[in-house]
Structure 1
Amino acid sequence: MSTNKNSNKILWTIFLTILIDMLGVGILIPVFPMLVVPHSTFRVIPDSWTTAEGFIMLGWLLTCFPLAQFLCAPILGQLADRYGRRKILALSISGTCISYILFAIGIVSKNIPLMFISRALDGASGGNISVAQAVIGDISTPQNRAKNFGLIGMSFGIGFIMGPFLGGKLSDPAVVSWFNSSTPFWFAAILSFINVLLVLALLPETLKVASDKQIDLSKPFHNINKAFSTPGLRNIIPTTFLFNAGFTFFTTFWAVVLADEFGFSQGKIGNFYAYIGIMIVFAQGMIVRRLSGRVADFQILRISLFITGICVGVYYFIPFSHIGLIYLIPPFMALGNALTMAFSTALITRVTPANIRGEAMGISSSSSALAQAIPAMLAGYVAAHHAKLPILVGSLIILCGGLLFWLIFQPKQFDEMN
């Protein structure tokens, strides 16, 4: 009984940790497009720059985080396997806290290089999600694994309800006269500091068998090879790579489309993403948890990937004259996204031995980070031709990921694994 209580304590601590972390991420969403779109009071790029040049700069700015995460997350995963989840989790969140402070200063001073440094620091210390996933993997059984990862997904959703909404309000001088474009980032820094205290105060160490391997600084590059060659992972990672790549094309520039082409303010962007968050919470809390243990993870993924890809594609074809249609898609897109995130992560942990689960999550994070870095970099150039074009590209890539999963994942190979 005490073991169950301890597991529940750990689970809910991680839930709150990721919730606070995702609040910080969600707060940024309404502000980012306003940094470059024309006629925005938040614009930080020089007046002589064109809209296309602003889009390209934004793409590179968004690339900094996943690129640094690609280089550093596997190293944090190794450190977590060797020195424990708790210490590394607190360390990585501390880096996130500092990065938000630097970004706030960069916005106020319109110091674009400092903004780039801030996002790179956040990415370098951004192994908190993969370490948190390793904690969940440590305490999960085969029967409740997807359910527990669904709880993580639900914390993502709640963060995306409250985060964008707060970001829109905290950056609006009409709400409080001294609010401005930097206020959400100061608030995110405070949240991250609270997150560090929460981990240190409430989270026990869950690592049972410490790794004695030397820390390999070249791990990020080896991980890409391992991701596509290791039995088990090679049957899943190529699909999650395409899913993350396609969804990054969408997430990188959909808020920009809302601001630039649909005329959304930062407040309306925040409200829209809050609505998506509500749909994600519903999908994670009501559907993922009900399906966990009842339907095989691979069977879910064979459908959910196509749901997500189709929903993203529909957004590309919505005309500006029918703005109301954008509110009809989130329930379906949230369902596909929630199912894919929860069951793909659960599937990775199921085919991974317990003593290298942290490393496996590091490999997965490397793949995910690279899958986000490349599209974020390219999306700016694609959007320079047409702001909506990254949406169509993202849809096609996700659909290719769904097709690939049907072709390469053979469930019989893993039926005997826990």
Structure 2
Amino acid sequence: MGFIFATVLIDMISIGLIIPVLPVIAGSFSSTQADHAMAYLLVAGAFGLANFVGSPVLGALSDQYGRRPVLLIGFCGLALSFFVTAAATALWVLVAVRLVSGAMQANISVANAYVADITAPQDRAKRFGQLGAAFGVGFILGPATGGLLGAIDIRLPFVVAGSLALVNLAYGYFVLPESLPLDKRRAFDWRSANPISSLNKLAHLKGVGVLVVVIGLSALAQFILHSSWVLFTTFKFGWGPKENGWSLFAVGLVSVVVQGFLLPKMLQRFSSPRLVVLALVSSTLAYLGWALAPQPWMMFVIIGMNIFGYAASAAIQSIVSNSVDATRQGATMGAVASLNSLMAVLGPLIGPGLLTLVAELPRDDWRLGAPFLLCAGLQAVALVFALRFQRTHPVQPVNAHA
């Protein structure tokens, strides 16, 4: 677990570095706030589209050839993306490189499959929480550092992120062990690796079908948030890379506290289905708060109050992972990643798309929060399906291992 934790940590720091500055780079090729939102829509949507197609393929390849080589491909894709972005002089270059890197990058799904390989079913929620804590630490160190570096030179975070991706490539090649034994590998099948087929199989996993709707709606809300946060705070509060970096630092800090320390206690008190319900209630209220916050400091308060919202991912991952055997973990996690990637395509179309309609409104106009209001609605619908899932999966005594 220590090996994959270190790999994911370095990976997320490198990704986190660029979050406060990627919208700014995209906006450097535009002249108005509406054009700025549209440019970022293209850049973010390109990555999500390519990742939607590539994730189930890479996940299925990891079931045949192992997790380690697919992770190494992902690190190469990230390094390429970061260095070319740093040197980009036109918007089409950004879009092209995000297409390539999105197709090569399935690190999150493969890391989840890696954890499933080395963990007993009853301990997976806890282990996925530890992996989530690595994401959180990356979001503590990455965005804050990226914001500070971006204040010096807007392209510097991409150079540093590319260098970290190369460090991870070396670490993965020389240190990271393989997690999938030869006797648990499964032959690659193109028919089952295409994204439509993988999503169909995910939807028909025994006892999980309703939860797929929750995954999809929650992911869509999350990607609308990700693609709109920097633009929204820039338009509403006049934040720059530094302020956005600190706000994402706060998100990472709360995520680490919840998934690294509080999640085991939550799992002792609540079953995974019930924890998903509580997380969706918390997230719905948080999105409403962000949409309507009149003062910038309130954004930080709401981040801190959304405690249960950061526990949803680990609880859902454990339910889905426990529904399949060891030979299909890569394909299943690849299918989840493909669903997330589909939402990553739609999120930047919807979030920045809504902002293009309201970008020129006064800063105190509540309609500037339109993307987050939509997110609250999506979470509310997901909550209905999560309650249905909970009713069909009666609460059992919580396993002591959790």
How far does the alpha carbon of each residue in 1:183-230 deviate from its partner, in whole angstroms, 9 at most, with x for none?
100111111111111112222221121102433486112122223233
Secondary structure in 1 matching 2:312: helix
Q: 2:173 aligns with which of 189, 197, 200?
A: 200
Question: Which deviates more from structure 2 when the two are superposed, residues 216-225 or residues 122-131?
Answer: 216-225
Q: 2:341 aligns with which of 369, 381, 389?
A: 369
Separation in structure 2 between the aligned mates of residue 307 and residue 261 of structure 1, nearest angstrom: 24
CA contact (8 A) 1:254 1:388 kept: no
| Amino acid aligned to 1:308 | S
How far does the alpha carbon of each residue in 1:335-386 deviate from its partner, in whole angstroms, 9 at most, with x for none?
2332101111111111122211111101111111111211211222211122
Q: Residues 4-403 of structure 1 correspond to what in structure 2 (within 5 A)?
A: 11-35=1-25, 43-47=27-31, 50-106=32-88, 109=89, 111-173=90-152, 180-208=153-181, 209-216=184-191, 219-292=194-267, 295-319=270-294, 322-333=295-306, 335-386=307-358, 387-403=368-384
Shift of the alpha carbon at 1:398? 1.4
Shift of the alpha carbon at 1:293? 5.3
Separation in structure 1 between the aligned mates of residue 188 and residue 167 of structure 2, nearest angstrom: 32
Structure 2: state its 5+ residue gaps. 359-367
Shift of the alpha carbon at 1:72? 0.3
CA contact (8 A) 2:191 2:197 kept: no
| Amino acid aligned to 1:314 | G
Separation in structure 2 between the aligned mates of residue 85 and residue 327 of structure 1, nearest angstrom: 37
Number of residue-to-residue matches in the alignment = 387
Structure 1: state its 5+ residue gaps. 1-10, 37-42, 174-179
How far does the alpha carbon of each residue in 1:275-318 deviate from its partner, in whole angstroms, 9 at most, with x for none?
22111111112211333455321111111111112111111111
Shift of the alpha carbon at 1:117? 1.2
CA contact (8 A) 1:79 1:215 kept: no
Secondary structure in 2 matching 1:191: helix
Separation in structure 2 between the aligned mates of residue 292 and residue 143 of structure 1, nearest angstrom: 11
How far does the alpha carbon of each residue in 1:68-99 deviate from its partner, in whole angstroms, 9 at most, with x for none?
11100000011100011111111121111111
| Amino acid aligned to 1:68 | A
Question: Which deviates more from structure 2 when the two are superposed, residues 299-308 or residues 383-392?
Answer: 383-392
Question: Which deviates more from structure 2 when the two are superposed, residues 270-279 or residues 215-224?
Answer: 215-224
Separation in structure 2 between the aligned mates of residue 60 and residue 215 of structure 1, nearest angstrom: 29
CA contact (8 A) 1:301 1:343 kept: yes
CA contact (8 A) 1:312 1:391 kept: yes
Secondary structure in 2 matching 1:140: coil
Change (3 A) 1:217 1:190: farther
Secondary structure in 2 matching 1:225: helix
CA contact (8 A) 1:167 1:270 kept: yes
Q: CA RMSD in A?
A: 2.1
Separation in structure 2 between the aligned mates of residue 359 and residue 289 of structure 1, nearest angstrom: 27
Secondary structure in 2 matching 1:261: helix
CA contact (8 A) 2:286 2:302 kept: yes
Q: Using structure 2 for the length normalisation, give the TM-score.
A: 0.91
| Amino acid aligned to 1:155 | A
Separation in structure 2 between the aligned mates of residue 234 and residue 414 of structure 1, nearest angstrom: 20
Shift of the alpha carbon at 1:255? 1.3
| Amino acid aligned to 2:5 | F
| Amino acid aligned to 2:28 | V
Separation in structure 2 between the aligned mates of residue 14 and residue 332 of structure 1, nearest angstrom: 30
| Amino acid aligned to 1:398 | Q
CA contact (8 A) 1:232 1:352 kept: no
Separation in structure 2 between the aligned mates of residue 412 and residue 327 of structure 1, nearest angstrom: 36
Shift of the alpha carbon at 1:256? 1.0
| Amino acid aligned to 1:383 | L
Shift of the alpha carbon at 1:57? 2.1
Separation in structure 2 between the aligned mates of residue 288 and residue 232 of structure 1, nearest angstrom: 24
CA contact (8 A) 2:192 2:198 kept: no
Which residue in 2 is equivalent to 1:6?
none
How far does the alpha carbon of each residue in 1:17-41 deviate from its partner, in whole angstroms, 9 at most, with x for none?
11111111211121133236xxxxx
